[in-house]
């Protein structure tokens, strides 16, 4: 019995690792892949602002449409921009391999499994952390990913964000907590200095949706698994009762 208990304990170790927060992500978000509207908005943002450079190799438009409850004609009209792509195709783009490397100095990676590699917190933080830096070829740098080669493609929505000296509610970079005000004093505070099409909290919402969508894409079958799980548990319970009754029946004559 002791051995079994030990084995059980070891089986729980990966759970502890999964629960660990991302160490290099200043902001956190809790994905909700049951929130279809958020996922739909996320997919719309993705196809408009990201798919041009980042493919989703392992995801088909059709599968996403089905899981997110979107009719085929709506997806074809509004989310598939390339005439080479059909509803049943994987979410590719028109870029040739090596293009991004030539243009930006780094390849734009496929993002299908990225939420599982980096974690949603990291992606969320990364997308919120672009700031103006004229010394970079793209004109921007990123507080989470130093010297990043990606331009800030969401700038029309977010506006121009700069790194300034100020108080902030959030701990960023070298921030120190002022015990009197409860705010962080820092010269690495990200602040929108020229507004974009969205208010800062609207923009955070949009980035939430985008990250939520990337989380769903990382494991689309999780949605099904979550609806199936209670049914499986119910079956195991009923089966357990039957198996127990059967065992009692078999052993009755022996005892
Ligand atoms: C103009 C092309 C382009 C567009 C559009 C673009 N990216 Fe990128 N992205 C890049 C490049 C190039 C890199 C590689 C950066 C590097 O390695 O320095 C990158 C890197 C990334 C990374 C980090 C990859 C890593 O190494 O962990 C993420 C996450 C990401 N992009 C998400 C997005 C999202 C989400 C969008 C849409 C809002 C988007 N990108 C739009 C070009 C682009």
Angle (CA) 83 85 91, round 5° = 135
Sequence-ordered list of residues with C-beta below 8 angstroms from that of 158, at least 6 positions apart, any chain: 130, 152, 192, 196, 198, 200, 203
Category of 201 on φ-ψ map: left (φ > 0), alpha (ψ -120 to 50) or beta: alpha
Cα angle 62, 122, 120 (rounded to 5 degrees) comes to 40
pLDDT of residue 16: 56
Closest ligand 1 atom, residue 100 Cα: 12
Give me the pLDDT at residue 165, please: 85
Residue 108 CA to ligand 1 center (angstroms) comes to 5
Residues of the chain below pLDDT 50: 19, 21
pLDDT at residue number 96: 80
CA distances (Å), origin 69, targets 87, 132, 151:
14, 38, 32
- Give me the count of residues in the chain: 255
Answer whether 210's CB lies under 8 Å from 45's CB.
yes
The confidence score (pLDDT) of residue 172 equals: 65
pLDDT of the residue at 1: 62
* Cα 90 to averaged position of ligand 1 atoms, centre (Å): 19
CA 115–ligand 1 middle distance (angstroms): 13
Using CA atoms, how far residue 223 sits from 29, 63, 69, in Å, is 18, 12, 12
- 56 neighbors 90 (Cβ within 8 angstroms): yes
Q: How far is CA 90 from CA 27, 58, 76, 217, in A?
A: 31, 7, 13, 12
Q: Are 101 and 135 in contact (CB under 8 A)?
A: no
Report whether 131 contacts 143 (CB < 8 A): yes
Contacts of 89 (CB under 8 A, 6+ apart): 60, 61
Atom of ligand 1 nearest to the CA of 148: 18
């Amino acid at each position: 019995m002791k051995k079994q208990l030990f084995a059980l304990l070891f089986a729980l170790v990966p759970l502890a690792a999964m629960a660990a927060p991302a160490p290099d992500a200043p902001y956190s978000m809790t994905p909700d892949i049951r929130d279809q509207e958020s996922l739909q908005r996320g997919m719309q943002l993705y196809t408009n602002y990201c798919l041009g450079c980042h493919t989703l190799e392992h995801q088909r438009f059709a599968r996403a449409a089905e899981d997110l409850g979107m009719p085929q004609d709506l997806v074809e009209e509004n989310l598939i921009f390339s005439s080479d792509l059909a509803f049943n195709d994987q979410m590719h783009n028109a870029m040739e391999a090596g293009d991004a490397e030539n243009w930006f100095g780094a390849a734009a990676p496929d993002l299908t499994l990225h939420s599982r590699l980096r974690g949603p917190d990291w992606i969320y933080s990364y997308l919120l952390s672009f700031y103006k830096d004229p010394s970079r070829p793209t004109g921007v740098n990123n507080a989470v990913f130093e010297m990043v080669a990606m331009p800030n493609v969401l700038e029309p929505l977010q506006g121009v964000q700069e790194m300034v000296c100020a108080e902030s509610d959030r701990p960023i970079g070298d921030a120190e907590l002022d015990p009197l005000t409860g705010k962080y004093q820092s010269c690495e505070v990200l602040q929108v200095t020229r507004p974009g099409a969205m208010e800062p909290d609207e923009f955070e919402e949009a980035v939430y949706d985008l990250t939520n969508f990337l989380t769903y894409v990382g494991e689309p079958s999780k949605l099904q698994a979550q609806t199936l799980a209670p049914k499986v548990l119910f079956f195991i319970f009923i089966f357990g009762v039957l198996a127990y009754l059967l065992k009692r029946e078999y052993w009755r004559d022996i005892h």
